[in-house]
């Protein structure tokens, strides 16, 4: 049986198919200055990959969905898509931690060091979670500003994976941590990691509940 996996926690639409023999995946970025194309690209991208793998929805046994944290709209789109596919195919649905999918390749590539994975949370914060070199979670997911992130990073030789938004300026904690270069592919969620976590994760007992971490702007007091 095939595994399909997808993530829309960031501005990129990530789609992947593991046919059991090969993994094919794509990261679909919005045009410069444009809005994310999750709604239009998600199912179209999965259909294309299934066709390339010579597979069909009837052969899909597992659906992995990036459950966040990330953008509110992106997570809602993924959760709704996963529920629709579950009802249509009968496949098991697995909620994949988007930060864990980001951290997994870095843990394997960074020589036994702990990894802190971060995703832009806007409002001057990052969504963050950390894992020890053996894969045990140390903290998170949480939303942190620069000073709070410095406190979390202090005292451990962290590798920090993720795209740091312009204007986010960590302080003393960055002297302890090793921040990956901006162009490093380990800063981006990969389809292989999504498929792997989906294949070994537990099935949800109902619709996917996104990990929002904090309330969206529209639900904040005073708005």
What six digits make up the tokens of 107? 């843990």
CATH of region 99-186, choose from 1.10.3470, 1.10.287, 3.30.420, 3.40.462: 3.30.420
**pLDDT above 50 for 221:** no
Q: What is the pLDDT at residue 214?
A: 85
- Who has greater pLDDT, 223 or 6? 6
Query: Where does the chain show beta strands of DSSP type E?
Result: 2-7, 13-18, 23-28, 60-66, 92-96, 115-122, 125-131, 137-144, 159-161, 178-179
Q: What is the mean pLDDT of residues 27-44?
A: 92
pLDDT at 209 over 90: yes
Confidence of residue 212 (pLDDT cuts 50, 70, 90): very high
Instruction: Scan for tokens 């990073």, then name that residue.
Output: 153
Does this chain's domain 2-97+189-219 share its CATH topology with 99-186?
yes
Residues 6+ apart with CB under 8 A from 123: none
Q: State the pLDDT at residue 163.
A: 92
Average pLDDT over residues 174-199: 91
Identify the bridge partners of residue 117 per DSSP, sorted by sequence position: 129, 161
Please report, in angstroms and rounded to a whole number, the separation of the first and last CA atoms in the chain: 47
Query: What pLDDT, on a 0 to 100 scale, did the predictor assign at position 166?
Result: 86
Give residue 181's pLDDT.
Answer: 92
Q: What average pLDDT does the chain have?
A: 92
Q: Residue ranges of the domains in the chain? A: 2-97+189-219, 99-186
Residue 223's pLDDT band, with cuts at 50, 70 and 90, is: very low
Mean pLDDT, range 199-206, rounded to an integer: 96
Q: What's the pLDDT score for residue 218?
A: 43
Choice between 168 and 211, residue whose per-residue pLDDT is larger: 211
- Kindly report, residue by residue over 148-159, the tens digit of the pLDDT: 999 999 888 999
Mean predicted confidence (pLDDT) in 126-136: 97
- Are 67 and 212 a contacting pair, CB within 8 Å? no
Q: What is the pTM of this model?
A: 0.93
Radius of gyration of the chain (CA): 17
Q: Are 160 and 116 in contact (CB under 8 A)?
A: yes
Instruction: Encode pLDDT of 9-34 as tens digits.
Output: 999 999 999 999 999 999 999 988 88
77-101 confidence digits (pLDDT tens): 999 999 999 999 999 999 999 999 9
Q: Could you name the CATH architecture of 2-97+189-219? A: 2-Layer Sandwich (3.30)
pLDDT at 31 (0 to 100):
87
Q: What pLDDT, on a 0 to 100 scale, did the predictor assign at position 96?
A: 98
């Amino acid at each position: 049986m095939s595994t399909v996996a997808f993530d829309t926690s960031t501005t990129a639409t990530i789609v992947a198919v593991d046919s059991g023999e090969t993994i094919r995946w794509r990261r679909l970025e919005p045009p410069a200055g444009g809005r994310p194309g999750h709604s239009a690209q998600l199912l179209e991208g999965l259909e294309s990959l299934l066709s390339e793998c010579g597979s069909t929805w009837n052969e899909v046994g597992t659906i992995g969905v990036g459950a966040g944290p990330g953008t509110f709209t992106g997570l809602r789109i993924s959760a709704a898509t996963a529920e629709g596919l579950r009802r249509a195919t009968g496949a098991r649905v697995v909620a994949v931690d988007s930060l864990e999918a980001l951290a997994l390749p870095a843990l394997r590539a960074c020589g036994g060091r702990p990894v802190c994975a971060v995703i832009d949370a806007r409002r001057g914060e990052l969504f963050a979670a950390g894992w020890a070199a053996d894969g045990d979670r140390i903290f998170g997911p949480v939303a942190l500003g620069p000073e709070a992130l410095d406190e979390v990073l202090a005292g451990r030789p962290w590798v920090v994976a993720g795209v740091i938004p312009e204007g986010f300026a960590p302080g003393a904690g960055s002297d302890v941590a090793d921040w990956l270069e901006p162009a490093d592919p380990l800063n981006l969620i990969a389809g292989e990691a999504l498929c792997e976590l989906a294949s070994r994760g537990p099935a949800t007992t109902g619709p996917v509940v996104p990990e929002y971490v904090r309330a969206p702007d529209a639900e904040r007091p005073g708005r």
